Structure 1
Amino acid sequence: MSRHPEVKWAERNDKVYLTVVLPDAKNSKVNLDPEGVFTFSATAGSDNLYELKLDLHDKVNVEESKINVGVRNIFCVLEKSEKKWWSKLLRGDAKAPHYVKVDWDKWVDEDDDTGRPAGLDLGGMDFSKFGDMGGMGGSDEFDDSDDELDEEVDKPEDKADDKVVGEGVAAKAKVESLQSL
């Protein structure tokens, strides 16, 4: 009986990223059909057989697609036949199998696929709503003014006072550093 490896996926307008997570895979066989059928088989561990067949949502361009068999995983960049977003990875109305998961490291929302710099990876997080969090944005509640720094501070003249002030400053700094954790 064969097992199913974990598969992570993400997409762009023109391609789908598939990562078959199977460390130390041996005798890997990957096949991609233009109709969108992706098959994989390999052995790993104590010669356990892993097999996979995915009926992708739409057709792919086999000639332009790339497959890289690595030590820890098999990484595939599948070029779509038509540049359009898919509503899901697999054909049919059934829910995706439990071993097929979203690759959040590569995920980009359809609205965000507009030429973001290649090195910038925000993990698909949407920061646009952060200003709407109660009391967290646009508020003068945390004013960064330096008004307090304009006041002069008298130095203590007695050595005993220096020690008390020094200990108070050290204690305050320790409390502030603990609060920042």
Structure 2
Amino acid sequence: MSHNPEVLWAQRSDKVYLTVALPDAKDISVKCEPHGAFSFSAVGAQGKRFEFSVELYGKIVPAGCKTNVGLRNIICSVQKEEKGWWKSLLKSGVKPAPYIKVDWNKWCDEDEEPTSDVASDDESAFVDGEGEGSDDDGMLYLPDLEKARGN
């Protein structure tokens, strides 16, 4: 029997980020299909199997899909075939399952996206799909309160 992991998603004009909250995951498998099918499976710390599959809103570039495995979660960067903003994560347009939520820490609106061609800080965490992240890579946390206060 498999379970669904918590998944956070965000997008840019050229990519979709899927962050799977699964500490100490093993046997991680990520599959990206050109028509937009994305599937994930892994074994959690207690030996439970976690998996999910979604049909993404648009077409993607499988060779441009990268995965960064951290100690607490797995971040998948999925390259869109065509630059542009998707109306939703899923092709069906229905509300995603309850375990899929918006990642407000990575979210960027169309008018807020940087226009430079320089790789963003988000990209530094990915190394050709096999990168090892530090303990803090991709952590799910609230912004530092001191920074928010401007101190």
**TM-score, normalized by length of structure 1?**
0.62
- Specify the alignment match of 2:124 in structure 1: none
Distance change >3 Å, CA 93–CA 79, structure 1 → 2: closer
d(CA) in 2 for partners of 1:66, 1:46: 26
Per-residue deviation, 1:81? 0.1
Identify unmatched segments of 5+ residues in structure 2.
Answer: 122-142, 144-151
Deviations 1:90-128 (A, max 9, x none): 111321111111111111111111438956xxx8xxxxx
Mapping for residues 1-181 of structure 1, pairs under 5 Å: 1-115=1-115, 118=120
Deviations 1:19-46 (A, max 9, x none): 1110011111111111111111111132
Structure 2 counterpart of 1:92, which letter?
A: S
Identify unmatched segments of 5+ residues in structure 1.
Answer: 124-181
**Number of matched pairs:** 120
**TM-score, normalized by length of structure 2?**
0.73
Q: Secondary structure at the match of 2:3?
A: coil
Moved >6 Å (runs of 4+): none
- Specify the alignment match of 2:149 in structure 1: none
RMSD of aligned residue pairs (Cα, Å): 1.8
Ranked by relative contact order (alpha carbons within 8 Å, sequence separation 6 or more), the top structure is: 2
Structure with higher Rg: it is 1
Distance change >3 Å, CA 52–CA 115, structure 1 → 2: same
- Specify the alignment match of 1:169 in structure 2: none
Between the aligned residues of both structures, percent identity stands at: 47
